[in-house]
Structure 1
């Protein structure tokens, strides 16, 4: 919504200009379907309590009343324009679970045409939709406005890097561990300005939520997008997320008719270059210390932290030093956890990660472990 409000202001200004020139202002509308998701205005005032979410949303409405009234007017005034209200979710997650169609239809002069879904968004992690078999990536606000008004998105024909996945993840290894491994490999390869397409028998062992996690991280591994083909898992997800039966049937029939459908035994596409990963080789990992591609295996974290303090931050001598926090009775030191979240923008609503976090919290509670006062959740 940060970039969306100026776009709606521009459309309103165009209507004013059209009216002043004697034209019909009602003709000024987006030419393609536009969804504005209000998700970047929330501030975490309250945390760590059962009422935190409700209170933060309440304060968000109070602070942004004028902006939200304007956007509501925009939804009523313009055709092809919808607004997803605050407190619903992050834009790329809402797109994955609700907005994305995989296959669109358009009826003109009594004739209905089906065509693949594509998406340009003003959030860099728009690439999450690639996990659903929808080609999409993030653009700037001006590019988005141009697309809204029917202008094409121009680009050079990109190289397409194939990433072959085999096997399956071991028990206890999460999508986060997988995406950090993939990011490390692709950063080493160098895929800036390129498309990455994932293929191979390993896809049959991956949930769509895990695919979306990998697609989401395309900006971090440098690619324009990280694409997954449409297959039976796509259909399962569309069904689970409540898409209409007619739409689901169309997606499957269209993908098969157009050669976009993947199934076990499908011939591998032809790519500019190839990488390969056996999913069983992925181990529990942490990102960092500075960037996601600086992945550290779990057993190497103590050594990795000490090395980072020495080489990255030049503070090896201060590794055990503590600092008093003014106005509190506790102190902080290097390596203390100060922010904790069940999920991030990358693995939002990934069921296996949510369940894992819930089980960890339950077991910690049973063992009498308490949240430290300096940890913001």
Structure 2
């Protein structure tokens, strides 16, 4: 082979190697093919459960996206809705919503006011749901057994398209978003030391739910930690002239956020142990706290309204008319209306986040940048 032929051959080899190299880079691990999502949670991920069980959530809830009340405590979509979008699945129907539901791609067992640990009070006292996590797991067991039985009866009819297939339960993504209400109940009923002592039991009960679903065939778990509860505007509604150190530099209740951080630390430690206990499970811990606190602390730089201001409702001094309700202030009827532009608000109603905030948090967690292991939700079936 002459010099010219050798150069040509070498050049050709380099081109081929470059092509193969770029082909490898351009061909990442394919996404998981989740056929369904099964969600367990509170109002942060409730897509209609509490509305089906009790009084439906009214307007102006849902106005920004659904253009009507849609069973969600927000002006639009929740983080769980953005998870469904990312996985190219339909929005989840609430398990308790019996009218016009389609469960082929999963079900949502979350209800507003739910806790991990069962509480001994009614929803009419402080808004705590009777459907704690243990009841949501019981509902899942019943759902799975009944739908498998029904599917076998109607599999050759159009009705089968509304039911999950038996094999899909092991391929589904199981999501959790609870803990905030356990802390809020603790702040109301316990000292910080008592709440701190209760935390191991609370996280163990969540771990037990994951273990149960694993025994039922579940393998992929996406577990949110709890958000900065001290930054919810409701926690400041009745506070005037707070003592030095009561609030942090962003106006959040410092001690409450510290308890949330402690809870999250224990939850993460328990998730690490779960990975050893459930050898075939892929369990992702999602740091929603950091995403939400990051949004709140950078609100001004992002061009957003004061994060402690509420979009929907009338909250002036110590007069509070909740979102969508009517009440009297100085003998004048006042309606808790929505603000003109919810998209610049972080808090929708003082307790729940706006759709814009939910989307921001979803974008900053579902890509894997705030998860352990660092994996996007589209890869959550892969054990790291």
State the TM-score bracket (shorter-chain normalisation).
under 0.3
State the TM-score, normalizing by the size of structure 1: 0.26
Higher RCO (C-alpha under 8 Å, 6+ residues apart)? 2
State the TM-score, normalizing by the size of structure 2: 0.26
Please identify which structure carries the higher strand content: 1
